[in-house]
Chains A and B, each alone.
Chain A
Amino acid sequence: MAIHAGAPRRSTLAPGDHAKLDDLRARLADLKDEPGATLEALYAAQAVFSYVPPEAVTMIAEELRLPESEVFGVLTFYTMFHRKPSAKYVLRVCRDLSCHISGAPAVLKALNDELGTRVSEVTEDGLFETESVSCLGLCDLQPAVMVNLEQHGPLDAEKARGLLADLRAREA
């Protein structure tokens, strides 16, 4: 089932990424016969490409024998899936009440200022992007930030800059 009938979706794959489709197919082999594994399949695609490109949606639909529209629907429902290339370090900054009244806005601003980016914009080196997200369940670490799945907090503007420095040091 095509999502936009008659108008093929434009590929977002970088030239070097086509070879990675084989990697995804191999990962999907384990999930093929597991009922309800769509989310895990999307996670697999994200692990390969850093996001879920249209080609991966098509492949997941074929391998899991699902309508493409259903796979696309699942992809767009859950906020942790990316539809454009994501950074190596995704910095999820909580915006909900406990973090908000504990200084989260200053943390988000410090990160964006330091990176020179806006929310959901990837830095040119591909390393960082910030996201402004719902409660992370880290309210005791208010204001809290998750770096991929790593827990950080409580932070303020200065500690947020320090966190970036640590992450950059890991890359050096």
Chain B
Amino acid sequence: MKVLVPVKRVIDYNVKVRVKADGSGVDLANVKMSMNPFDEIAVEEAIRLKEKGIATEIVVVSIGVKQAQETLRTALAMGADRAILIEAAADVHTDIEPLAVAKLLAGVVKEEGPGLVLCGKQAIDNDMNATGQMLSALLGWSQATFASELAVSGDAATVTREVDGGLQTITVKMPAIVTVDLRLNEPRYASLPNIMKAKAKPLATKTPADYGVDVAPRLSVVKTVEPAGRKAGVKVSSIEELIAKLKDEAGVI
């Protein structure tokens, strides 16, 4: 079975995000970028499926600027077999919206014919949490979101989902879209020898036109603001006072 894993290049999770002066978005000039952490988990899961003999080939796809190549190389170094870059933007500040991404991915799926698409549940930049779901709708495939456990056997996948207040286990028919959550696995570091070998793995470059998709934005950003600064705390003099404040002021107990 072929597994397709879309990976997004996002601002590194360690970077302190700064809003652009004109409020049009986040400043990404000369900022460290990395693979979206949820996508890293998806890549890791695909590699584990391959190690178990369930997956036979792992294809990674990235949609965005040319520099997303680095993100794809990281995935190849971790253990993916082949990469596709869909160059859809020239400016690092251009974010391709989930629907356009889902349409492009649907095009890739038609071309590649994977048995499973493993996506991150969301990208940590815009937190849309939509691409996997939209892709499933476009393809008419089963979907299982927020996976914390995944077992594939025959033409079905059993997925444990992290839902509000607990876990839910469902079985979906393959082919399927599974979006992965934080606790599914702990991604490996690509080994240094594999990083050196990754450059020799195939990386194809495509454009949205190849799939007949218009990536022009449908949404417009009205305003981007920094979170409000933290207010100073208060000191309490006794446990009684603490409990009273938690009850009456904070309303948490």
**Same complex origin of A and B:** no
